[in-house]
Structure 1
Amino acid sequence: MGQYWGMDNSQGPVLSLTVAQCWSRLHDQKVGRLITHVGDVIDVFPVNYVVDRDRLVFRTAEGSKLLELTINDEVIFEVDDHTDTDAWSVIVRGSARRLETDDEVQHADSLGLEPWIPTLKHNYVSIAPHEVTGRAFRRAEEPPRDGVQPY
């Protein structure tokens, strides 16, 4: 992650990432968290994924995840990582939809996305982002709790 930082100490411990920096991090990872919202229920599902051009694609079996996406397709997808010195988080807000046409499924098959656990997952889902944001953090010891704190 140090190669991503690219900032000097004068910018403080938190840095807003550009959209390009966010996509770079999304490309480098394989697992994220899908957040769905149906009625009063908010669910979080860890999924492995791939970036396909300007979208995220994952596979899923029939079940609550797929059902929730058909009820409300607006989702949040979160990916993060850290080392001893740096951390970052990227949030994708977008619309999810099941890929249904033969061409879409054949293209998704070519992406090399395989389930991490031995279950059958016949459904591909694509997330079209509306907004991609992220932040990077410099990790260090907590400042002293007493005394004057900079704002």
Structure 2
Amino acid sequence: MDQLQEFVDALSDGECWERLAGQKLGRLVTHVKDVLDIFPVNFVVDDGTIVFRTAPGSKLFELTVNDEVLFEADDHDDDDAWSVVVRGHARVLDTSEEVHAADALPLHPWIPTLKYHYVRIEPVAVSGRAFARKPEPDRYGIAEY
């Protein structure tokens, strides 16, 4: 068995969504021309999608220029860690029905700012890995061949 495979496991789609649903903070990556940006966002999982709120600004503008995004969330404790990446398309919710449904989600700004815009990330692909956290092996000992 490859040494890396001993400590890293691929997560199934279901495991990825289960872990995402247990988190509140993730990172949104946008891409406009040659510029990549990354934004921390608090979010909720809603029916196999990611929903977050935002105010007018660079994040919202960049999503309207290019809706292809990456979203990442992770967590760890003393023994384990994991990371999940969602590739998808971000869309501002604009109908009154969509906004009303989003208002019912347990999603509230973390800082005292007005955020009237809801964004939903529709996934194209989801992937994740779980890691067993162990001490680093002796880097200067005898190498196995």
TM-score tier by shorter-chain length is over 0.9
So what's the TM-score if we normalise by structure 2?
0.94
Match of 1:148 in 2: 143
Letter in 1 for 2:135: E
Letter in 1 for 2:143: V
Distance 1:22 1:55 in 2: 12
Match of 1:3 in 2: none
Match of 1:97 in 2: 91
Match of 1:32 in 2: 26
Deviation at 1:149, TM superposition (A): 4.2
Distance 2:144 2:97 in 1: 58
Letter in 1 for 2:129: R
Deviation at 1:147, TM superposition (A): 1.9
Partner deviation per Cα, 1:70-123 (whole Å, 9 max, x = no partner):
000000000000001100000000000000000000000010211000000000
Match of 2:114 in 1: 120
Give the number of aligned pairs.
140
Kindly report structure 1 stretches of 4+ aligned residues shifted beyond 6 Å. none
Structure 2, unpaired ranges of 5+: none
Distance 1:81 1:99 in 2: 28
Letter in 2 for 1:147: I
> Identical aligned pairs, as a percentage?
61
Structure 1 117/149 Cα, relative in aligned 2: closer, same or farther at 3 Å?
A: farther
Deviation at 1:148, TM superposition (A): 2.3
User: Aligned-pair RMSD on alpha carbons?
Assistant: 1.0
